[in-house]
Every structure is written in C-alpha cells, then in structure tokens.
C-alpha cells in the first residue's frame, strides 16, 4: 500500500514537472458518470460527433465507463490552465494537444511503475486535435490511427462529470474563465484523467 501511494505521488510530481497546472489523486469511487452529460454530444449535436474512433457513437459510453471503473480504485486527474481566449479560438486544439501529451506521459509512467492497466482520458476530439488537416479518421474505416501514442478518448463521450471531478480534486471549475490575482488575462482549464489501478 505504501509503495502504491509513493508511486501515485511520483505520478503527480511528474505531471507538475511536465507542465500540468495541477494534478491530484482521486478515488475512482468518487467519479460520477451521467447519461445526460454523454447525451450532450448528440443534442445539441457536437460538430465532431461520429468523426473519430474516439468519439461517440464509437465509444462504449456511460455504461462502458461504469464497467471499466469497477476495475480501478485510484486515478490521477490533471488540469492545464490556458488563456480563455485561446480556448475560444480556432487554435484551441493546441491546448487539448498539450493536455493529451501530459495525460499520456502520466499513463506511460504509470505503466513503467507497474500499473499495466493505466488508461488516460482527455478532452476534445482527436479528429480536431491530431487530424484536423485530414479528410477523415483513418481508424474509423479499419486503418491505423495516425496518432496511436497520443490520441485518447474524451471524457465527454462517456458522460464523466468533469465539474464533479474538478471539485473532488479541490478545483473550482469555471467555463467562463478566472481572472488571475496578478491581473493578467483570464484563464480557463482543460482536464484529463488517468485511471491508475
Ligand atoms: S486517425 Fe486521427 S481522428 Fe482517427 S482516432 Fe486516430 S487521431 Fe483520432
């Protein structure tokens, strides 16, 4: 047990070293999965709905996530603070790309530390993040994913309640951004989740 806790602490430290704005260990039992949240991918319909193997209806959805969570006890959640205006721009994919790199880095380290089942989830559509220049998702038609290392499924398609997850981590989530104390430009956060064991 002590060994596992030390490894979780190492994962948190490595995420912060790599540039995550914060990272926390959470109990998987506290992760809320809500059908109504997953349904938002379809209504109002997300422009990326169905465009990638990693988005609905091509993922297992809330029921699949509940089944998966039964196999885990601990997860690490991370956030990346970015300028709100970046998230509201057509360059927003760069924030989600960085988030994917951070989450996958933690997943890879977790595997090195012995948590072979570790699995990262991010935000946004990998079609936009990694294949924006491509006409279609190659993996959807039976080909190989163009970004197998970094493309991960978004929490949204599974109905993971990101607001509740952020609260569990002790973060106050604001979609409309937060003014930093130094008076700089408004920041907003993107969130990732790595199931560890
Ligand atoms: S090929 Fe591109 S769009 Fe399809 S799953 Fe891989 S990264 Fe996502």
Per-residue pLDDT tens digits for 122-169: 999 999 999 999 999 999 999 999 999 999 999 999 999 999 999 999
Ligand 1 residue neighbourhood (C-beta within 6 Å): 52-54, 126-127, 130-131, 137-139, 145-147, 151
Pocket test for ligand 1, best of 104, 120, 126 (most atoms within 8 A of CB): 126
Output the residue whose Cα is nearest ligand 1's atom 8: 126
Q: What spacing in Å lies between the alpha carbon of 139 and ligand 1's midpoint?
A: 6
| Overall residue count recorded for the chain in this entry | 197
Which residues, at least 6 apart from 169, have a Cβ–Cβ distance to it below 8 Å?
22, 24, 26, 77, 79
Average pLDDT along the chain: 95
Count up the domains in the chain and report the number.
Answer: 1
Q: Which of 27, 9, 18 is nearest to 113 (CA)?
A: 9
Cα 73 from Cα 77, distance rounded (Å): 13
Give the number of other CB atoms < 10 A from CB of residue 5.
11
Q: Is the pLDDT of residue 84 over 80?
A: yes
DSSP H helix total and E strand total for the chain: 7, 4
Mean pLDDT of the 175-196 span: 91
The rounded Å distance from CA 101 to ligand 1 centre is 15
In 8-37, which positions are buried (b, 16+ CB within 10 angstroms) versus exposed (e)?
Answer: beebbebbeeeebbbbbebebeebebeeeb
The count of C-alpha atoms lying within 13 angstroms of the C-alpha of 181, restricted to the half-sphere facing its C-beta, is 0
* pLDDT for res 1: 74
**Cβ contact 107:89 at 8 Å:** no
pTM of the model as a whole: 0.95
Mean pLDDT of 178-190: 90
CA of 48 to the centre of ligand 1 (A): 12
Confidence of residue 97 (pLDDT cuts 50, 70, 90): very high
Q: Which atom of ligand 1 is nearest to the CA of 131?
A: 2
Q: What pLDDT does residue 180 have?
A: 85
3-state helix, strand and coil shares in percent for the chain, rounded to the nearest 5:
40, 20, 45
In terms of phi and psi (left: phi > 0; alpha: psi -120 to 50; beta: otherwise), the region of 140 is alpha
Structural domain of 124 = 2-195
Share of the chain above pLDDT 70, in %: 100
Task: Give 105's DSSP letter.
Answer: H
């Amino acid at each position: 047990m002590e060994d596992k806790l030390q490894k979780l602490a190492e994962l948190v430290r490595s995420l912060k070293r790599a540039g995550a704005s914060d990272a926390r260990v959470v109990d998987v039992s506290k992760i809320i999965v809500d059908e109504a949240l997953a349904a938002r991918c379809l209504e109002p319909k997300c422009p990326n709905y169905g465009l990638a193997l990693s988005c609905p209806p091509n993922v297992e959805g809330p029921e699949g996530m509940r089944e998966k969570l039964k196999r885990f006890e601990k997860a690490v959640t991370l956030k990346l603070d970015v300028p709100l205006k970046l998230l509201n721009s057509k360059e927003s994919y760069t924030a989600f790309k960085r988030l994917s790199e951070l989450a996958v880095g933690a997943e890879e380290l977790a595997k090195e530390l012995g948590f072979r089942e570790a699995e990262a989830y991010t935000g946004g559509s990998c079609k936009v993040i990694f294949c924006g220049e491509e006409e279609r998702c190659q993996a959807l038609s039976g080909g190989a994913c163009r970004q197998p290392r970094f493309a991960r499924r978004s929490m949204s398609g599974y109905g993971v309640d990101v607001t509740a997850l952020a609260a569990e981590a002790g973060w106050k989530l604001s979609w409309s951004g937060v003014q930093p104390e130094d008076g700089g430009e408004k920041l907003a956060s993107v969130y990732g989740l790595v199931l560890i064991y």
